[in-house]
């Protein structure tokens, strides 16, 4: 006999789990959330999005102090240690935990701390922190357990100089040099963060260019500016062996190279957190990356068990996970469904990157007649005032209909700026056209007026045809 019975039980309190629980509770369901950590927020709050972005912000502030002449009246350029910067990060994490915990109380969602395991398709066993076991039954379940860094078996992650993107936040020293294996979003973000702290960085990329899903021009800009910060970017390299010692780490490459650094950050892939859930007891099997397959309702092969967030793979964004959580609650309540597509990309490198829609390569391959409108941030008054002159905005649009097809932004506050273009791009025709930016008055000086400059640039190109 189950100790407790709910309409819905969500496993995991990250963005996807929290959104599913809150939305279901507002629809009148009795909901519980089970969280393995001793505090709410999931990996997003404790190890992923929040700490890395808070760390980036602190480093960006340090860089501005060290590079802008106005601050020289306060003293010479300074250096901060990694632990010093992390103290600021930990404050943000505490604020986030308090906020998310209050959400559950306010919406009368029971938050249970413990490790959940399926006994069968209608029952969970939860191992509580005190060692006791509680049995919980529900009509529906949502698996929102997130993901963790992938760890190959031949790399010794117990060594004090080898880190992954979770354990790097616990580093108690500032290395003189660091090697980052894996140049995906996480690897590029940490490369710019450590370079901003004055650490020598080797960024090892297994592919031919950085972040190949980006527009080529944006990828090239990222590569240039990382190198300008002192990052050594090595493309098309695969490791053969990792040899740690008391004084550093040597990575022997399949190409024959040997790269040495004080520390290694492994950021090559992630794995869904499905181990230990007892999936074998309900007839579910994760793929080789620990991820679960779902249908358009986010339902797994078991009709009353759903999955959302990083545990189902792409796009593995906190923003998309929130939307997936709300969508799965609507599907469970029988109020339709929504598969999250074309989510904007936010990459918090220094400078940051954001995009939504198609890239130039995709449009070229699809033989879509398009044109490009560009605006360089250095030509805007706001960027000149703020000192954030690096960056650009580009708008891709159809030559004939002027429909906006893609927005790509590189530079300060790119993840904010992109949403202006996204809002117009998502309007129904004929309101989703680039002409909007020419016919609208923007505040001056703002970064938003880059849209008008980019639109004029693009439309002038069309007029020359």
Q: Is 40 annotated as a binding residue?
A: yes
* Residue 72 marked in a binding site: no
Residue 28 structure tokens? 């009148």
Closest among 353, 111, 126, 151 to 266, alpha carbons compared: 151
331 marked as binding residue: no
256 annotated to bind ligand: no
Q: Is 35 annotated as a binding residue?
A: yes
186 annotated binding-site participant: yes
185 is in an annotated binding site: yes
* Residue 406 in marked binding region: no
Whether residue 43 is annotated as binding a ligand: the answer is: yes
184 is in an annotated binding site: yes
Instruction: Identify the residue whose tokens are 């007839």.
Output: 283
> Is 290 annotated for ligand binding?
no
**Is 42 assigned a ligand-binding role in the annotation?**
yes
Residue 413 is assigned to a ligand binding site: no
Residue 177: both structure tokens together = 């040099």
Whether 146 has a binding-site annotation, put simply, is yes
Give all strands of the β-sheet with 391-398 in edge-to-edge order.
Answer: 345-347, 353-357, 404-411, 391-398, 370-376
Are 448 and 395 contacting, i.e. CB atoms less than 8 angstroms apart? Answer: no
The answer to whether 145 is a known ligand-binding residue is yes
Whether residue 139 is annotated as binding a ligand: the answer is no
334 labelled ligand-binding: no
Q: Is 383 annotated as a binding residue?
A: no
Binding residues for NAD(+): 182-189, 269
Binding residues for FAD: 35-44, 53, 145-147, 310
Binding residues: 35-44, 53, 145-147, 182-189, 269, 310
């Amino acid at each position: 006999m189950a100790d407790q019975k709910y309409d819905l039980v969500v496993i995991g309190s990250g963005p996807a789990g929290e959104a599913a629980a809150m939305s279901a509770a507002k629809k009148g369901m009795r909901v519980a959330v089970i969280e393995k950590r001793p505090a709410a927020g999931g990996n997003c709050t404790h190890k992923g999005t929040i700490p890395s972005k808070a760390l980036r912000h602190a480093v960006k502030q340090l860089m501005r102090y060290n590079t802008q002449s106005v601050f020289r009246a306060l003293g010479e350029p300074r250096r901060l240690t990694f632990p010093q910067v992390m103290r600021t990060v930990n404050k943000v994490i505490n604020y986030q935990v308090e906020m998310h915990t209050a959400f559950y109380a306010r919406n009368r969602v029971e938050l249970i701390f413990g490790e959940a395991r399926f006994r069968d398709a209608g029952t969970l066993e939860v191992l509580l922190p005190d060692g006791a076991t509680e049995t919980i039954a529900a009509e529906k379940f949502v698996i929102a357990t997130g993901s963790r860094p992938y760890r190959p078996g031949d790399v010794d992650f117990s060594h004090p100089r080898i880190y992954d993107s979770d354990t790097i936040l616990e580093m108690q020293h500032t290395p003189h040099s660091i090697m980052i294996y894996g140049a995906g979003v996480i690897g590029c973000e940490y490369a710019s963060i450590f370079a901003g702290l004055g650490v020598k960085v080797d960024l090892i990329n297994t592919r031919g260019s950085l972040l190949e899903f980006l527009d080529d021009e944006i990828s090239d800009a990222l590569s240039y500016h990382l190198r300008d910060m002192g990052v050594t970017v090595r493309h098309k390299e695969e490791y053969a062996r990792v040899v740690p010692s008391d004084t550093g780490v040597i990575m022997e490459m399949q190409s024959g190279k040997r790269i040495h650094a004080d520390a290694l950050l492994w950021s090559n892939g992630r794995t869904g957190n499905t181990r230990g859930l007892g999936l074998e007891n309900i007839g579910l099997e994760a793929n080789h990356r620990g991820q679960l397959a779902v249908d358009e309702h986010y339902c797994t092969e078991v009709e009353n068990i759903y999955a959302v967030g990083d545990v189902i793979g792409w796009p593995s964004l906190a923003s998309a996970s929130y939307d997936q959580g709300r969508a799965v609650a609507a599907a469970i309540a029988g109020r339709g469904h929504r598969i999250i597509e074309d989510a904007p990309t936010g990459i918090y490198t220094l400078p940051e990157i954001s995009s939504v829609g198609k890239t130039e390569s995709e449009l070229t391959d699809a033989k879509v007649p398009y044109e490009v409108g560009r605006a360089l941030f250095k030509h805007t008054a706001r960027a000149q005032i703020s000192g954030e002159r690096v960056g650009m905005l580009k708008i891709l649009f159809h030559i004939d209909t002027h429909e906006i097809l893609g927005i790509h932004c590189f530079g300060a506050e790119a993840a904010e700026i992109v949403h202006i273009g996204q809002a117009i791009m998502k309007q129904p025709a004929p309101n989703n056209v680039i002409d909007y930016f020419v016919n609208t008055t923007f505040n001056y000086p703002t970064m938003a007026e880059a849209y008008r400059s980019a639109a004029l640039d693009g439309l002038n190109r069309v007029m020359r045809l």
